[in-house]
């Protein structure tokens, strides 16, 4: 699957409280989460972000709480993919489990700027800068995780395992 | 080649002789945990898997603690989802207002976690149980759903880093100061994807409550888990609590570590983490003077009896500063009762503290002490991210209970030494 989108840039250590503040965690409704996604980092983000946009951030993206509401908020806000040098481990698992594409690529995260247009090939992990044609290669997922992603996430994978059918 | 403590527990739960860092393993879990924020999402995902019952009703524990006692209608609806599910599944261990506590204070106290266990919880501070020599780690709601259905979780075996603490603790220094100092040294991603193994003679003398505090904040260094060796202090803590048999694992002398850190605790003074990351730490001698509006003593990090004792020892016969709101939240009903019997609660109320029923409450900006724009709090909690305790333009400073209590009296970040107090013992 190939995604093309406009980039929003964020810094290091974007924590899950900033992605979706706890004051909105009294509901897991995707529309509610999307309406407040990243508002403490940029109050206008929920109104600016458009379906298919891509976030490029600094290291340790998604650190802090285990709230799955964080990747759910990003997905519901229309974010198609997140690229960062590293992800906090619970966020990493949550994103894979709910089907929010994430890619670890320090070089791309360093070079790509806000407003740039990039495309991402999720099968190969290749990231391409539309204007310059520069490409970067993200770290590939281990085969088990590819299997999880291919099955449609952890719930679909587990359903198949316990019931024998998808 | 030998194995670390974490590798041994993961190997045992994967049914393997040995595991290597980087290897993906499927592990049997001894306990799974959810709360009123994460469980409702997990329960919905659980219903899609195609099983009717949880894998073992003795080993699934759901604790409504974050926005409970219900703070608003939406929170009440979420907590009800958890309560209805716990009832329908006939879960053996059920906790609610009046019997509950903050999950990570409660589960060890209730004897539901022991050495050598493998625990996953849909809460990032599930790493707290590493203090008991268990492998325990936070996961999200979907992982919780799959674990409730199957009793299994997949893991990438982490590399382990070893943290050794030498020497004798300085006055007013507790586990909170050691872990804040450590995070200040290695950074909020200093142990990313890793296991933190704690050891050394300073650790051997450290109380159980201080060990819980240290393991609790392993996540603030990005770690998968933090883990302590089991000793007499651990054995004595679990003696009258633990409901199951357990197995003690020890790291091999020739285990391989990604990094080894050695700290001389005699050089570590009480620590304060400045906004907006737990790694922004300073010793109290460089941190004193910041004017504050609120002090919170509580949370899964520092809501235990030792923390309340330290606070009371400082607040006894003193008054909270007129411009400061001191909120004290005992971690569990039992801690609350013990503190009451010891006279701690009376000392705190006489000093002018508001004492609450157990809840995560203000720690994550839920309720019971939210900050207005521009306000500053000093808290014994675990995170000082932007907007963590309220308005995005409020500030949170993190410290241990001694600094918190002294600051509440002086109205600014301060050491108990400024009150003419010399020593407190936090060793067991």
Q: pLDDT tens, A96-120? A: 999 999 999 999 999 999 999 999 9
- Supply B228's token pair: 């302590």
Rounded to 10°, the helix B344-351/B333-341 angle is 90
Q: How far apart are the CA of B221 and the nearest CA of chain A, in angstroms?
A: 9
- pLDDT at B42 (0 to 100): 98
Q: Is the pTM value of this prediction over 0.90? A: yes
Residue A77, pLDDT > 60, answer yes
What SS3 state is found at B245? coil
Check CB contact under 8 Å for A88 and B74: no
* Mean pLDDT confidence for B221-227: 98
Q: What is the pLDDT of residues B332-350, one digit of tens each?
A: 999 999 999 999 999 999 9
A22, A40, A97: residue with CB nearest B392: A40
- Whole-number pLDDT of residue A144: 87
Alpha-carbon gap: B412 to the closest alpha carbon of chain A (Å): 26
Would the pLDDT of A126 be above 90? yes
A130 CB contacts (<8 Å, ≥6 apart)?
A4, A116, A117, A118, A119
Place of tokens 């409704």: A29
Q: What is the DSSP letter of B427?
A: B
DSSP string covering A100-134, please?
A: --EEE-HHHHHH--TT-EEEEETTTTEEEETTT--
Cα B328 from Cα B331, distance rounded (Å): 10
How far is B318 from chain A, CA to nearest CA, in Å?
Answer: 34
Q: To the nearest whole number, what is the mean pLDDT of chain A?
A: 95
Query: Which residues, including other chains, have CB under 8 Å from residue A155's CB and lie 6 or more apart?
Result: A97, B45, B48, B49, B142, B145, B146
- Give contacts of B49 with chain A, Cβ < 8 Å: 155, 158-159, 162-163
* B48/A67 CB distance under 8 A: no
pLDDT of the residue at A83: 98
Residues 215-234 of B with CB under 8 A from A: 219, 222, 224
Determine the residue among A33, A96, A155, A163 to mutate to test chain B binding: the one whose Cβ has the most chain B Cβ atoms within 10 Å: A155
Looking at residue A143, its pLDDT comes to 85
A37 touches B: beta carbon within 8 Å: no
Give me the percent of chain A exceeding a pLDDT of 70: 99
Give the number of C-alpha atoms closer than 13 A to the C-alpha of residue A49, restricted to the C-beta side.
Answer: 28
Answer yes or no: do B189 and A66 touch at CB < 8 A. no
Q: What confidence score (pLDDT) does residue B424 get? A: 54
Out of B67, B143, B188, closest to residue A60 by CB: B188
Contact A70, A78 (CB under 8 A): no
Contact B32, B120 (CB under 8 A): yes
Query: Would you say B378 and B415 are in contact if contact means Cβ atoms under 8 Å apart?
Result: no
Query: What is the full DSSP assignment across B192-244?
Result: TT-EEEEESHHHHTB-HHHHHHHHHGGGGGT-SEEE----HHHHHHHTTT--S
Quote the minimal CA–CA distance from B199 to chain A in Å: 24
Confidence of residue B422 (pLDDT cuts 50, 70, 90): confident
- Tell me which H or E stretch contains B162: strand B160-166
Give the one of A66, A153, A162 whose C-beta lies nearest to B123's C-beta.
A66
Distances (CA, A) of A29 to A19, A33, B41, B144, B295: 15, 6, 10, 19, 33
β-strands B325-328, B294-297 pairing: parallel
Among A29, A39, A65, the residue to mutate for chain B (most B Cβ within 10 A): A65
β partners of residue B412: B291
| Interface touch B122/A25, C-beta < 8 Å | no
| Rounded distance between C-alpha atoms, residue B389 and residue B295, angstroms | 11
Nearest to A159 among B48, B123, B383 (CB): B48
Domains within chain B, CATH numbers bracketed: 5-263 (3.30.499.10), 270-419 (3.30.499.10)
> What is the rounded CA–CA span in Å between residue B244 and residue B113?
8
CA nearest B103: which of B355, B301, B336, B391? B301
Give B254→chain A minimum CA distance, Å.
27
Measure in Å the smallest separation between the Cα of A27 and chain B Cα atoms: 6
Provide, as residue numbers in chain B, all residues whose Cβ is less than 8 Å from the Cβ of A88. 189, 192, 222
- pLDDT of B401 above 50: yes
Mean pLDDT value of segment B128-145: 98
Quote ipTM for the complex.
Answer: 0.96
The shortest CB-CB distance from A155 to any of B74, B146, B222 is to B146
- Residue A149 binned pLDDT confidence (cut-offs 50, 70, 90): confident
A contacts of B126 (beta carbons < 8 Å): 66
* Residue in chain B nearest A42 by alpha carbon: B392
Whether B263 contacts chain A with CB within 8 A:
no
Beta strand pairing call for B225-227 and B195-199 = parallel
For residue B428, pLDDT over 60 is answered with: no
Q: Can you point out the beta strands (E) in B241-306?
A: 259-264, 271-273, 281-283, 294-297
Please name the residue of chain B whose CA is at the shortest distance from the CA of residue A155: B49
Contacts of A163 in chain B (CB under 8 A): 49-51
pLDDT at B425: 43
Q: Any idea what DSSP says for residue B291?
A: B
Find the closest chain A residue to B41 by CA distance: A28
- Window 158-197 of B: residues touching A by CB (8 A cutoff) are 188-189, 192-193
CB contact under 8 A, B67 and A158: no
Please tell me if residue B142 touches chain A, with a CB cutoff of 8 Å: yes
Residue in B closest to A30 by C-alpha? B41
Reported as a single tens digit per residue, the pLDDT across B58-78 is: 999 999 999 999 999 999 999
User: Between the CA of residue B346 and those of B140, B297, B337, what are the distances in Å?
Assistant: 39, 15, 12
- Give the minimum alpha-carbon distance from A98 to chain B in angstroms, rounded to a whole number: 7
B49 touches chain A (CB under 8 A): yes
How many helices (H) and strands (E) are present in chain A, helices listed first? 8, 7
Rounded CA-CA distance B394/B371 in Å is 6
- Residue in the block written with tokens 């739960």: B13
**What is the spatial distance between Cα A87 and Cα A109, in angstroms, rounded to a whole number?**
12
Mean pLDDT of B88-112: 97
Query: d(Cα B403, Cα B234) in Å, to the nearest integer?
Result: 27
- Which one, of B174, B207, B136, lies nearest residue B297 by Cα? B174
A64 touches chain B (CB under 8 A): yes
Q: What are phi and psi of B376, to 5 degrees?
A: -125, 135
Q: How far apart are CA A93 and CA B139, in angstroms?
A: 8
CB contact under 8 A, B146 and A59: no
Task: Quickly tell me which residue has 């049914």 as its tokens.
Answer: B15
Alpha-carbon Rg for chain A, nearest whole angstrom, is: 15
Interchain contact, A154 vs B41, CB within 8 Å:
no
Cβ within 8 Å, pair B24-A142? yes
What pLDDT sits at residue A141?
A: 83
Residues of B in contact with A96 (CB under 8 A): none
DSSP SS3 for A4: strand
């Amino acid at each position: 699957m190939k995604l093309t989108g406009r980039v929003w840039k964020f810094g290091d250590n974007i924590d899950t409280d900033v992605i979706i503040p706890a004051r909105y965690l009294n509901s897991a409704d995707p529309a509610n989460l999307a309406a407040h996604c990243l508002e403490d980092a940029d109050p206008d983000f929920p109104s600016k972000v458009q379906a298919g946009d891509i976030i490029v951030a600094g290291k340790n993206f998604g650190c802090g709480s285990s709230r799955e509401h964080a990747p759910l908020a990003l997905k519901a806000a229309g974010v198609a993919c997140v690229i960062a040098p590293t992800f906090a481990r619970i966020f990493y698992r949550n994103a894979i489990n709910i089907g929010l594409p994430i890619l670890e690529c320090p070089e791309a995260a360093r070079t790509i700027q806000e407003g740039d247009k990039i495309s991402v090939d999720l099968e190969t992990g290749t990231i391409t800068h539309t204007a310059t044609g520069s490409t970067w290669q993200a770290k590939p997922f281990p085969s088990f995780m590819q299997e999880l992603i291919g099955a449609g996430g952890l719930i679909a994978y587990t359903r198949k395992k316990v019931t024998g059918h998808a | 080649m030998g194995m670390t403590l974490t590798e041994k527990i993961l190997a045992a739960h994967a049914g393997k002789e040995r595991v290597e860092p980087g290897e993906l393993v499927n592990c049997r879990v001894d306990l799974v945990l959810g709360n009123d924020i994460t469980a409702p999402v997990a329960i919905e995902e659980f219903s899609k898997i195609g099983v009717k019952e949880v894998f073992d009703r003795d080993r699934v524990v759901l604790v409504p603690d974050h926005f409970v006692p219900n703070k608003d209608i939406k929170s009440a609806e979420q907590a009800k989802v958890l309560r209805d599910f716990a009832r329908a599944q006939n879960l053996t261990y059920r906790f609610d207002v009046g019997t509950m506590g903050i999950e990570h204070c409660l589960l060890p106290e209730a004897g539901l976690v022991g050495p050598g266990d493998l625990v996953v919880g849909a809460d990032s501070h599930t790493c707290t149980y590493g203090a008991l020599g268990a492998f325990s780690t936070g996961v999200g709601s979907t992982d919780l759903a799959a674990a409730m259905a199957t009793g299994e979780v997949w893991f990438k075996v982490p590399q382990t880093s070893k943290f050794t603490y030498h020497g004798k603790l300085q006055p007013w220094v507790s586990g909170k100061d050691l872990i804040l100092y450590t995070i200040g040294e290695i950074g909020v991603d200093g142990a990313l994807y890793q296991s933190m193994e704690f050891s050394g003679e300073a650790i051997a003398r450290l109380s159980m409550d201080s060990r819980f505090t240290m393991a609790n904040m392993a996540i603030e260094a990005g770690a998968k888990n933090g883990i302590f060796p089991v000793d007499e202090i651990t054995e004595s803590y679990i003696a009258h609590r633990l409901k199951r048999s357990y197995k003690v694992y020890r790291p091999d002398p020739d285990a391989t570590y990604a990094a080894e850190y050695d700290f001389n605790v005699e050089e570590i003074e009480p620590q304060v983490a400045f906004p907006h990351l737990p790694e922004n730490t300073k010793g109290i001698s460089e941190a004193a003077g910041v004017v504050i509006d609120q002090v919170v003593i509580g949370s899964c990090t520092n809501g235990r009896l030792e923390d309340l004792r330290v606070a009371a020892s400082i607040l006894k016969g003193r008054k909270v500063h007129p411009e400061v709101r001191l909120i004290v939240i005992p971690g569990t009903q039992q801690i609350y009762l013990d503190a009451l019997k010891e006279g701690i609660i009376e000392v705190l109320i006489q000093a002018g503290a508001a004492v609450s029923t157990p809840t995560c409450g203000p720690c994550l900006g839920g309720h019971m002490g939210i900050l207005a724009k521009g306000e500053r709090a000093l808290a014994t909690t675990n995170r000082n991210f932007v907007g963590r305790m309220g308005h995005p333009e409020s500030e949170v400073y993190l410290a241990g209970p001694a600094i918190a209590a002294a600051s509440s009296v002086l109205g600014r970040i301060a050491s108990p030494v400024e009150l003419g107090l010399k020593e407190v013992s936090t060793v067991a």
